[in-house]
Structures are given as C-alpha cells and as structure tokens.
C-alpha cells in the first residue's frame, strides 16, 4: 500500500474541483493521487445512518471513515477524496484522490434517491490513471500554454466557444436535476 500515491501541488483536479475547496472541507492535508485500487465494504449501519446528498456523510463516506479511520471523506460523481494516515509516515494525514467506477456511481445515485433497498456489500475505489493524475495534467497544461506562447499551437475559437457552452449546459443541468456539482455545495431541485 506504500505505492498508493504521490504528492500533488496542483490547484484543480479532473472535475474542476479546486484542491483549496477540498482542503477547506477535509483539512490542510497533502492531496495525493491514488495509484492502486481499494475495495471498501458497506455494512448495514453505514447504510442506515448515511445521509443521501451529503458527500461527507453518505453511506460510502461512512464506510471509508470506519475502514480507514478517516476524519473526512468526500464522494462526488466521478471522484472521491479520502483522508487517512500516510502508509509511508504514520504521523502524517493525507487526502487520497480516487476515481469512481460506473457501478459505484450508480449505487451512489440509487442511495441518494431510494433508500428502501439494501445495497451491495462492497464497492471499489479506482486508482487515478497516469494520464488523469493532477501532476500529469498540470505538466500538459504548462506545455500547451508554452506552445501557444511560442506559436506552435493556436486556440481554435470555435472549439473554445463549444467548450464554454458545454460547461454552462452541464452547470445548468446539475442545478436543474439536483445533481451534486462537486464544487463543495449540494444543489437540490426545488
């Protein structure tokens, strides 16, 4: 387990969440990309006491707190942040960033909208692929910016407009459907 992650100094992760926001919610710990998968077991008490719509107190968060002694856990649609002791230095707490597989997201959504059924007993937190790790994305972004400055690359205004429109559409859809945005707040439909 000592190869789980590596320190990241980036300020934004793959879903646009600001690392500063994660630190505000979980504590001023280093954020490390997970390099190995983890399996977490949900028990009946986790499910009964879990709060749907609360990324720090849903049944998955409660299971991680119980399993890893975490003080804080945040589950979002595509990523989870789990605070735990650093396996390499037991005196240091760190926040590991995991990717959520489709099956875990579907269970999370079912729990949010319907608590009347029992949930499967385990779920998997996936390692962050090298291409999606914070340090890799930051390195690629710096290279892109350098290429733009040097003239090797240009910005396509049509693609830029599409990207902005897509972001606005996703934001509107999230607030309309009551989906968690991952921005540290819970949006609910009224």
> Would you state the pLDDT for residue 9?
42
d(CA 103, CA 139): 31
Q: What is the pLDDT of residues 39-80, one digit of tens each?
A: 888 888 888 888 877 777 878 888 888 988 888 888 777 888
Task: Please tell me the total count of domains within the chain.
Answer: 1
Q: Which two tokens mark 33?
A: 């990309």
Evaluate whether 108 touches 75 at the Cβ level (below 8 Å): yes
Q: What is the DSSP letter of 24?
A: H
Worst-scoring range by mean pLDDT, 95-99, 142-146, 168-172? 168-172
Q: What is the pLDDT of residues 112-160, one digit of tens each?
A: 655 555 555 678 899 988 888 878 888 888 998 898 899 998 888 888 8
Quote the longest CA-to-CA distance of the chain: 58
Evaluate whether 115 touches 98 at the Cβ level (below 8 Å): no
- Rounded to 5°, the CA angle 147-153-159 comes to 125
Would residue 117 count as lying in a domain? yes
Would residue 28 count as lying in a domain? yes
Would residue 55 count as lying in a domain? yes
> Would you state the pLDDT for residue 37?
92
- Rounded to 5°, the CA angle 190-25-55 comes to 45
Would residue 16 count as lying in a domain? yes
Would residue 177 count as lying in a domain? no
Would residue 154 count as lying in a domain? no
Would residue 124 count as lying in a domain? yes
129-136: Cβ within 8 A, 24+ apart: 129/99, 132/14, 132/99, 133/6, 133/8, 133/33, 134/8, 134/10, 134/13, 134/14, 134/19, 134/31, 134/33, 134/97, 135/6, 135/8, 135/9, 135/10, 135/33
> Would you state the pLDDT for residue 126?
92
The domain in which residue 59 lies consists of 5-129
Share of the chain above pLDDT 90, in %: 4
53 by DSSP, 3-state: which?
coil
Would residue 120 count as lying in a domain? yes
123 by DSSP, 3-state: which?
strand
d(CA 166, CA 172): 10
Burial class of 131 by CB neighbour count within 10 A (0 to 12, 13 to 18, 19+): exposed
């Amino acid at each position: 387990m000592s190869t789980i992650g590596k320190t990241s100094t980036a300020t934004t992760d793959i879903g646009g969440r600001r690392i500063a926001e994660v630190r505000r919610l979980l504590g001023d710990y280093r954020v490390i990309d997970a390099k190995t998968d983890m399996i977490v077991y949900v028990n009946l008490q986790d499910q009964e006491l879990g709060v749907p719509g609360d990324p720090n107190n849903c049944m998955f968060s409660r299971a991680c707190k119980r399993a890893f002694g975490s003080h804080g856990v945040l589950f979002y649609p595509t990523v989870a942040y789990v605070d735990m002791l650093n396996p390499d230095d037991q005196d240091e707490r760190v926040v590991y960033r995991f990717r959520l597989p489709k099956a875990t997201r579907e269970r999370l959504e079912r729990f949010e909208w319907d608590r009347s059924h029992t949930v499967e007993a385990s779920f998997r937190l996936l390692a962050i692929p090298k291409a999606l790790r914070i340090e890799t994305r930051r390195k690629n972004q710096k290279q892109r910016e350098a290429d733009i400055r040097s003239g090797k690359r240009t910005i396509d205004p049509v693609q830029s407009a599409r990207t902005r429109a897509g972001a606005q559409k996703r934001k509107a859809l999230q607030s309309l459907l009551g989906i968690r945005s991952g921005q540290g707040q819970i949006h609910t439909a009224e």
